[in-house]
Chains A and B, each alone.
Chain A
Amino acid sequence: MENLFIEPTEFSPKIIFDVKDRKFELVGISRPEDVIAFYESIIYKVENYINRMMNEHKDFNGFKFHLKFDLSYMNSASSKYILQILDHFKQLFKNGAEVNVDWYYDDIDDQIFEDGEDLSDVIKIPFNLVPRK
């Protein structure tokens, strides 16, 4: 399975999905013009990866996956698709894998901080809320 890399634009985030190193990163601003088209291929790739891992692994003990969300802005439509991505990774988490989610924010009053708390509550995966340096 190949890695996925999407260059950022002014209004869409950089995506790194490194299957070998088991990491997924979403960095920048998420307000793409066609939010469905932007996230569809990413979700498809994540879903395939998760299905493959579920078939290949009977035991997820020692299996680690790292997700990094470093967003300065996301619109509410993006949050829906970010949740779908997280929902796929949740399968690994539910099966005993160590899924680390780092969610970056600038300021505790920042909406992004609250977005991290909200998405973590909705998806029921703990996030590490990390202050941006």
Chain B
Amino acid sequence: MSGNVVVQYKGFFDYSLLNKLLMDFMKYVEKNNIDNYIFKKIQIVMAEVLENNYQYTNLIEDELKHENFEPEFKILISNPHFKVIASNPILTNDANHLKAYIDKINNFSREDLKTIYKDTLKEGMYIKNANSGTGLVRIAKVSKNKINYSFRKINNKLLYYTIETLVTPK
């Protein structure tokens, strides 16, 4: 899907930037009378994608010092659909696990997604980190669409990972 850019940012993200991008999107929604139903869905997908993005890049900060591949985020609209696209460098060693996990999510039925979401929440309830481990499952569950992804080689250690999620109206 091609479309018009609604929100776009290139560079490393953090919490305050995520808030700013959410605000930018909210302004767009208000100005263009976008339905609240689709706004809420995009808000969830956007926040989960960007939180994953900056939490992961913070973890591998040292590996990225001499690289020029910055994360990127955009929302496109092709009426009435929206597409949320986010990219960031990832360690080559993490790619196979991530790919397998997204493939698994993409093959789940809606009921399977609900079950795996609840199981992951239950298993992760007392694990000592900030994440619940449900980010990607929640994105698939909320968007009700498959998650598209790609990996492009940066060097032997790093790949440029892109995730695309279509958010459709009722």
Contact = CB atoms under 8 A, between A and B. Distances in A.
Interface of A: 10-11, 31, 33-36, 73, 75-77, 79-80, 83-84, 87, 106-107, 109-111, 114, 118-119, 121-122
A109 B46 CA distance: 18
Contacts of B138: 76
A79 B43 contact: no
Contacts of B47: 31, 75
User: How extensive is the interface on chain B, given as a class?
Assistant: 20 to 34
Interface in B125-170: 125-126, 130-132, 134-135, 138, 141-142, 170
Interface of B: 15, 19, 36-37, 40-41, 43-44, 47-48, 51, 114, 117-118, 121-122, 124-126, 130-132, 134-135, 138, 141-142, 170
Given A111-B142, A118-B118, A77 B40 contact: no
Given A111-B40, A111-B41, A111-B44, A77 B51 contact: yes
Contact of A80 (B48, B121, B142, B170): B121
A96 B123 CA distance: 26
A106 B51 CA distance: 25
Contact of B132 (A80, A107, A110): A80
Given A83-B121, A118-B118, A77 B131 contact: yes
A122 B122 contact: yes
Majority secondary structure, A binding face: helix
Nearest to A117: B114
